[in-house]
Copies of this chain bind each other. A is one copy, B any other.
Amino acid sequence: MKQDQINPELIPFLPLLYIAWADGTLLPSELEEIKRLLDEQDDLDKTVRAMVLKWLNPKSPPSASELIYWRELICNHSNLIKEKDKLNLFEIGKSMSTDQEGYFFNEKTKQFFENVEACFGIVTKEALNDLLHPERPDFSENEKYSKESFSAEQMSLILEHRFSGIKERVRTLMKDSSFAFDDHSREKKAYREEVLNWTKLLADQGFGALAFPEKYGGSGRISDYAAVFEEIAKYNLSLTVKFGVQFGLFGGSIFWLGTKQHHKKYLNDAGEAKLLGCFAMTEMHHGSNVRELKTTATYEPGNNVLIVNTPSEYDKKTYIGNAAAHATMATVFCQLIVQGKNYGVHAVLVPIRNEDGETCSGVTIEDNGFKLGLNGVDNGILHFNNVEVPVENLLNRFGSINSEGKYESPISSDSKRFFTMLGTLVGGRLCVPMAGLSASKKALAVAVHFALRRRQFGPSDQPEQLLMGYQTHQKRLMPLLANAYAYHFAHQFLISAFEASGENEDTQEIEALAAGMKALSTWNTTKTIQECREACGGKGYLSEMYFDELKADSDIFTTFEGDNTVLLQLTARARLGYFKNRFGRMGWFDTLKYISDISTTGLTELNPIVVRNTSDEHLLSDDFQLAAFKYRESYSLRTVAMRLSKRIKAGVNSYDAFIETQVHLVDLAKAYIESIVLEQFVRKIETIEDVSLKTALQLVKNVYALSTMEAYRAWYLEHEYISPKKSLALVKLNKKLCKEMSFMSADLVNAFNIPDYMIQKAVQF
């Protein structure tokens, strides 16, 4: 059908014909139906009917250029129809016809076209919309998406709390040209030197010594140190880790495990990065199981020295940061042997390099080589071949060798001494996940801004849709953004609690919390960064978007300062131990029985009305959420206690009993930590007065609570805490909340204070 050959009488049918062929195939059943409908149009001219049918013959479909020409013709006319609702085959046909008042456009024909539309179904509507092609406005800004609800700066003050001053100092410093965070990660040697140089610059500002007492250059507050650490993590994680190794681990070991003599001699130099050191704990065959490490320090009374020795090649210290290139001294963890007796793990300062950088006699240093990430940190392997150090090098706060050459300790029990020593080192476990969280915030800021800029697909008569407008995208990013807020407040709580706890107080509960928080928080970091990378598609794979560094550098966070799975078991055991300590009269068996009893009492009969209550008000209430989280924890505690006591009663030894209950211990620890996180979030919100901030945080808290419950809804269903309908209602409501939250997502990530240049590539493309 050439364009000059179209019979005017056929014109009203063009829209029908176009639609019929629009998806390329006219199915026999469709054809039959249209034929039938045409037959019913008895007042239709037979010639016209034949023409229409001719163009509906599957054996001679219209050509591609004919189809396009039809579309043009139809478009020209359908543009006349301003009201989108009126867009249908009948109206378009009518507007195209030269004989608009003629016989054709009666009620019966209208019915005919409506029947045809029904036959083609929704394809019609879509195809008709396609025809319209109105001009597409180009939204290059995301203003249309975001809703103004609160001030990002005010939110930032809530997040940064009393640390905003010191954090701002870090940010100012990082802008200095000395910190040019170019891409060094592929040239190991130069990168390591650069990172060392930056570490010294940070020390020059007094940041390194912060956690030490004032007389050693610090503020005496570990929370200040943590705030700096957290802020540096937004810039470069190799620097963060080097900083942590030098000041937190090496300096910290001298401060926490040493005594006045060590503080006087070393602490200033360590805090100023003049004395570079490393923290040699992990051995090739002993990572998590520190108590069983094999390196020895044997006291020789004759010349009053300690002989530090690595018994076999499997016992070399490995993955030791600062060891491969820079440290001149190492805090070496070893079994202390005095008069032929092993007093367990102690720390000894061992020089490993002289001032010229030459390796000390008896020490062998290897390089761990390239790593998945953090290649700005020089991890190495240390081997000691009977290295002699003065007895004064023993960090002797918890165990010393007296002038008579005898071992002395304020803590008699090897076991208690070991855990007390390790307990003082909990600072690392508190800080590492905070750095990880900074990395997540960076990833979220990039992904959220990208999603508010990038468009893809869309309705046919509209500009393409913002990624953030998609349900799947909201469900992907918002729960992780909520986690970032939730974990942020929990970490703040934890570091304050640790700081507030007196030196002699029993910090077991804080240690248990720190272990569990570290595990969940760092796993959340890995997950968040991965999800954000994927949410930025191919663009997210380019180094310019920072995901490569973020992923690679933060990956080890789930392992160092304790493997996450091991840590969670520690948390769970401590949780059980908490009850044992509180009710010391009981042995383990009775403790377990007791826990299972009190938990049962706590787990009051479930109210069937509550189990089935699906109202938004109920699901969004703090009461419901807190109770649900607490219930999971108490129930898990009881389950674990029952399983353990059953086994112990049956004569299984406690090691095996715990091993057989491992998966449940991990579940208990997760439930416990998540309950604390929610509780702290709720408490934090209670302290906020500004309505807009409070409202925003409530929404974020609700997304955290419901997303966590959604993830564990199988548990709640298995334990009949919620009915199947309530579970579905919860998921549905959470979807709605994620959408609401997405409207404020820009402000929520802006409050993280991520430097602009990092987000630049996400919004300019």
Chain A residues with a Cβ under 8 A of chain B: 21-25, 27-30, 32-33, 61-69, 72, 117-126, 129, 183, 185-188, 282, 284-289, 292, 314, 318-319, 338-339, 341-343, 368-373, 399, 406-409, 411-417, 419, 454-460, 464-465, 470-473, 475-476, 526, 530, 533-534, 537-538, 540-544, 547-548, 551-552, 555-556, 558-560, 563-565, 580-581, 583-591, 648, 653-657, 659-660, 662-663, 666, 713-714, 717-720, 724, 727-728, 735, 765
A717 partner, pick from B412, B465, B714, beta carbons under 8 A: B714
Establish whether residues A409 and B64, one from each chain, have CB atoms under 8 Å apart when the complex forms.
Answer: yes
Cα distance A613–B471 when bound, in Å?
37
User: Closest CB of chain B to A29's CB: distance in Å?
Assistant: 3
Chain B contacts for A342, CB-based, 8 A: 68
Q: Which residue of B lies closest to A419 (CB)?
A: B24
Chain B contacts for A188, CB-based, 8 A: 186
User: Contacts A412-B62, A558-B534 given: A27-B584 contact, CB under 8 Å?
Assistant: yes
Establish whether residues A65 and B560, one from each chain, have CB atoms under 8 Å apart when the complex forms.
Answer: no
Establish whether residues B413 and A659, one from each chain, have CB atoms under 8 Å apart when the complex forms.
Answer: no
Establish whether residues B65 and A129, one from each chain, have CB atoms under 8 Å apart when the complex forms.
Answer: no
Establish whether residues B369 and A414, one from each chain, have CB atoms under 8 Å apart when the complex forms.
Answer: no
User: Contacts A33-B585, A538-B319 given: A66-B412 contact, CB under 8 Å?
Assistant: yes
User: Contacts A541-B559, A663-B735, A717-B724 given: A533-B372 contact, CB under 8 Å?
Assistant: yes
Q: Which residue of B lies closest to A61 (CB)?
A: B412
Establish whether residues A285 and B718, one from each chain, have CB atoms under 8 Å apart when the complex forms.
Answer: no
Q: Which residue of B lies closest to A140 (CB)?
A: B314
User: Contacts A318-B538, A415-B22 given: A459-B372 contact, CB under 8 Å?
Assistant: no
Establish whether residues A369 and B543, one from each chain, have CB atoms under 8 Å apart when the complex forms.
Answer: yes
Establish whether residues A412 and B655, one from each chain, have CB atoms under 8 Å apart when the complex forms.
Answer: no
Chain B contacts for A314, CB-based, 8 A: 765
- List 7 extra interface pairs beyond A24-B417, A118-B590, A318-B538, CB under 8 A: A23-B413, A63-B412, A65-B408, A288-B457, A470-B662, A471-B659, A537-B563
Establish whether residues B717 and A370, one from each chain, have CB atoms under 8 Å apart when the complex forms.
Answer: no
Cα distance A63–B414 when bound, in Å?
10
Q: Which residue of B lies closest to A117 (CB)?
A: B587
User: Closest CB of chain B to A412's CB: distance in Å?
Assistant: 5
Establish whether residues A287 and B22, one from each chain, have CB atoms under 8 Å apart when the complex forms.
Answer: no
Chain B contacts for A457, CB-based, 8 A: 288-289, 292
A653 partner, pick from B28, B125, B533, B580, beta carbons under 8 A: B125
Chain B contacts for A556, CB-based, 8 A: 538, 541
Chain B contacts for A654, CB-based, 8 A: 122, 125-126
Establish whether residues A551 and B372, one from each chain, have CB atoms under 8 Å apart when the complex forms.
Answer: yes
Chain B contacts for A118, CB-based, 8 A: 587, 589-590
9 shortest interchain CB distances as A-B pairs: A121-B587, A24-B416, A27-B584, A24-B413, A121-B588, A29-B585, A186-B186, A372-B548, A717-B717
Establish whether residues A122 and B585, one from each chain, have CB atoms under 8 Å apart when the complex forms.
Answer: no
Q: Which residue of B lies closest to A341 (CB)?
A: B68
Interface centre among A22, A454, A590, A714 (most CB of B within 10 A): A714
Chain B contacts for A551, CB-based, 8 A: 372, 551-552, 555
Chain B contacts for A544, CB-based, 8 A: 369
User: Closest CB of chain B to A713's CB: distance in Å?
Assistant: 5
User: Closest CB of chain B to A435's CB: distance in Å?
Assistant: 16
Chain B contacts for A724, CB-based, 8 A: 717-720
A-B CB contact pairs (8 Å), 7 listed:
A29-B583, A68-B341, A287-B538, A288-B537, A373-B541, A472-B565, A717-B717
Chain B contacts for A765, CB-based, 8 A: 284-285, 314
Chain B contacts for A62, CB-based, 8 A: 412
User: Closest CB of chain B to A19's CB: distance in Å?
Assistant: 11
Establish whether residues A548 and B370, one from each chain, have CB atoms under 8 Å apart when the complex forms.
Answer: yes
Cα distance A324–B341 when bound, in Å?
66
Establish whether residues A370 and B121, one from each chain, have CB atoms under 8 Å apart when the complex forms.
Answer: no
Establish whether residues A67 and B662, one from each chain, have CB atoms under 8 Å apart when the complex forms.
Answer: no
Chain B contacts for A183, CB-based, 8 A: 370
User: Contacts A548-B552, A559-B538 given: A370-B64 contact, CB under 8 Å?
Assistant: no
Chain B contacts for A285, CB-based, 8 A: 454-455, 765
Establish whether residues A538 and B552, one from each chain, have CB atoms under 8 Å apart when the complex forms.
Answer: no
Cα distance A372–B553 when bound, in Å?
12
Interface centre among A24, A369, A370, A560 (most CB of B within 10 A): A24
Chain B contacts for A122, CB-based, 8 A: 587-589, 648, 654, 657
Chain B contacts for A588, CB-based, 8 A: 121-123
Establish whether residues A65 and B407, one from each chain, have CB atoms under 8 Å apart when the complex forms.
Answer: yes
Establish whether residues B537 and A470, one from each chain, have CB atoms under 8 Å apart when the complex forms.
Answer: no
Cα distance A653–B506 when bound, in Å?
64
Establish whether residues A369 and B542, one from each chain, have CB atoms under 8 Å apart when the complex forms.
Answer: yes
Establish whether residues A714 and B735, one from each chain, have CB atoms under 8 Å apart when the complex forms.
Answer: no
User: Closest CB of chain B to A179's CB: distance in Å?
Assistant: 20
Establish whether residues B718 and A24, one from each chain, have CB atoms under 8 Å apart when the complex forms.
Answer: no
Establish whether residues A28 and B456, one from each chain, have CB atoms under 8 Å apart when the complex forms.
Answer: no
Chain B contacts for A126, CB-based, 8 A: 653-655
Establish whether residues B414 and A64, one from each chain, have CB atoms under 8 Å apart when the complex forms.
Answer: yes
Interface centre among A125, A548, A560, A587 (most CB of B within 10 A): A587
A24 partner, pick from B64, B412, B583, beta carbons under 8 A: B412
A538 partner, pick from B120, B282, B409, beta carbons under 8 A: B282
Chain B contacts for A560, CB-based, 8 A: 538
Establish whether residues B456 and A416, one from each chain, have CB atoms under 8 Å apart when the complex forms.
Answer: no
Chain B contacts for A526, CB-based, 8 A: 530
Establish whether residues B415 and A288, one from each chain, have CB atoms under 8 Å apart when the complex forms.
Answer: no
